[in-house]
Amino acid sequence: MSKYSIATELIEDFKFTDFPPLPFHAQNSFNDFAISNSLDHDAESDKSSEPFSDMVLDYIKQMLMEEDMGEKYDMLQSHPDLEATEKPFYELIGEKYPPSPDQPPLYFSSSPESSDFNQNHFISSSQSSTSSVNDEELFFKILPASQFEKGVEEAKKFLPSADRLVINFGEIDLKFPPEPINSFRRPKNHHRDESIFRESRRNKQSANSYEEPAIPSEVLDDVLLCAGEKFPKVVKAIREKIYNEASKKSSKRKKPKEEVVDINTLLLHCAQIITNGDNQRANELLRQIRNHSSPHGDASQRLAHYIADGLEARLAGTGSEVYRSLVNKRKTVSDVLKAYQLYLATCPFRKLSYHYANQTILDTVQNAKKVHILDFGIYFGFQWPVFIKMLSCRPGGPPKLRITGIDNPQPGFRPSERIEETGRRLADYADRFGVPFEYRAIAAKFDEVKFEEIAIHEDEMLVVNCLFRMHNLADETAIVDCPRDKVLKAIRKLNPAVFVNVVVNGSYGAPFFMTRFREALYHFSAVFDMLDVTAPRENEQRHLLERDMYGRFLINVISCEGLERDRPEIYKQWQVRCLRAGFAQVSLCPEFLKPVKEKVRAYYHKDFNIDEDGKWILQGWKGRILYGLSAWRPNYF
């Protein structure tokens, strides 16, 4: 049985109901947690909960497998058969084996890219795009002729010494592989020179000369064990760790009383001093904040640590540089997946948002033969594997699916590299589930996309999807021609069948610094408190999530100005914008929200809120609304 069939069986066995009831009861104290024994029971299939299937974790598995491909080239160099074949040739020219590090090898191997890749375009029609490296892919080439273009003296370096010009083949035990020599001949590749040149250009730029470290085996285990029925066990481990951590703290001896500091008041006071321009006093307050903050402390200490980073950058006038360095910093897939795994296990926001968007799209395209999804902010494409599987189960067969993935360009010579790789993985999933698939990557800011160049076919149903990313666009306080309204009107002109818009609900986008700072403090206090209650403090995944996502958000809000600063709005303001752009809001399905609310109450912490306001679904923590979910269609009246 192949690894894909095994992974598929695991995914099909796992449902949202596999989550055991969360042992968070009437009180907030860690000591009141009761770890449920129902976690160990085997999950049963429930067709109604299929949209909650965690195929995204299988998707993560494939990404991690791709990470290992870079290491296989090094493994080939030390292969026993390869060494046995190389050694006689080195003896023939009078060199020692293995060669010295400074000596070029007698062969090189390249991984050519398809023409589809060069066009940022991927088409799938039930053929797997997954490739593997094995012993049969060892190809040999002689030294390039360009080495002999430097003159006779240079060429002599590659000739054997005079005393070895006469060779007695009887004295040399030449070992050749049993396969015919033709099996080692690589097919001619017209794209190889182009790919080598492109690789050499990337290596010349420091921003792209990054070599991704090998992913530790424990990280692989954490992600692979999350698939299928093993996902609840990961949730159980996280919750038991919280319980044990709380028990240890309660059993420890009480420490001497320390100085009690209202860290929020100190932060507000420091922000006001910076606004007044008293840099000396601001530096003194920042030193006090540093003494009472830590990236590994409680919720308020962690929040204060990252806010202090933003205040320091604002005080030094380097906010834009610091933020750009954080955005452009290449994040390893391993780090992203570790943080994402914790987020799925402890928080329902992302899972519910994906479920809402996918179900809305499925209901809209249930009779369509061709579907085109325009996804703003596709990133790693975590939303789409489960959608593709659900689409493959449609009565009458799946439609042809076309996804256009749009995301901000990366720095360097390959701005669309990440979203191109996303397309490859999605094409592989479409092949596995028999869904005709086509993908196009567009690396551009949302307001710079040339919508007239997006091929919209008359015989396909268009869907526009944007989750958690609209606040990245500037509003009218930054530029007269508001990019938010511009993009919304452009989407309306495309006349989509449905537009799914999930927004960050926040009022920390005000132009005045103190107003913005105060609202950001309240908003992110809820976020850090949520993580403190639901995840262990010493958990490295939590640290990555806080540092690389929420820490970066705080740097942006506090220290950046102009077009670079994100400006979130409350969901009611987004409602006005969508109506003004010519959309009408789609009503909620009455059968959708009730079971979702029951599952969130049963499987997650009791302080998570799932409510509705009109046609909006609202998600929050302890009464503070953090996200708003909505769907829109063109208003023809």
The predicted structure's pLDDT at residue 214: 46
**261-269 LR contacts (CB < 8 Å, sep 24+):** 261/288, 261/292, 263/289, 263/292, 263/293, 263/300, 263/301, 263/304, 264/300, 264/521, 264/525, 266/292, 266/304, 267/304, 267/307, 267/308, 267/311, 267/521, 268/517, 268/518, 268/521
- Per-residue buried b or exposed e for 281-308, using 16+ beta carbons within 10 Å of the residue's own CB: ebeebbeebeebbeeeeebbbbbbbbbb
Pick the more confident residue, 637 or 210. 637
For the chain, what is the radius of gyration of the CA atoms? 29
Residue 354 has pLDDT above 60, yes or no: yes
Pick the more confident residue, 95 or 115. 95
Residues 6+ apart with CB under 8 A from 364: 461, 463, 497, 498
The gap from C-alpha 144 to its chain's centroid, in whole angstroms, comes to: 40
The pLDDT tens digits of the residues spanning 305-344 come to 999 999 999 998 887 788 777 776 766 666 777 788 788 8
pLDDT band at 55 (very low <50, low <70, confident <90, very high): low
Q: Give the domains, in start order, of the chain with CATH numbers.
A: 69-189 (no CATH), 333-634 (3.40.50.150)
Residue percentage of the chain with pLDDT more than 70:
59
The predicted structure's pLDDT at residue 343: 86
Rounded to whole angstroms, the Cα distance separating 147 from 153 reads 11
Q: What is the mean pLDDT of the chain?
A: 74
Rounded to whole angstroms, the Cα distance separating 556 from 58 reads 33
Residue 578 has pLDDT above 80, yes or no: yes
Pick the more confident residue, 169 or 536. 536
Phi, psi of 595 (to 5 degrees): -65, -30
What's the whole-number mean pLDDT along residues 517-530? 97
Q: What angle do CA 512, 513, 514 make, to 5 degrees?
A: 100
Rounded to whole angstroms, the Cα distance separating 364 from 366 reads 6
Determine the 3-state secondary structure of 569 from DSSP: strand
Residue 148 has pLDDT above 50, yes or no: no
Burial of 425 (0-12, 13-18, 19+ CB in 10 A): buried
User: In 3D, which of 222, 119, 132 has the Cα closest to residue 544?
Assistant: 222
The pLDDT tens digits of the residues spanning 471-514 come to 999 999 888 889 999 999 999 999 999 999 999 999 999 999 99
Give the range among 66-70, 127-131, 149-153 with minimum mean pLDDT: 127-131
Rounded to whole angstroms, the Cα distance separating 413 from 420 reads 14
The pLDDT tens digits of the residues spanning 415-470 come to 998 899 889 989 988 999 999 999 999 999 999 999 888 889 999 999 999 999 99
The pLDDT tens digits of the residues spanning 594-633 come to 899 998 988 899 999 999 999 999 999 999 999 999 999 9
378 contacts 405 by C-beta, under 8 angstroms: yes
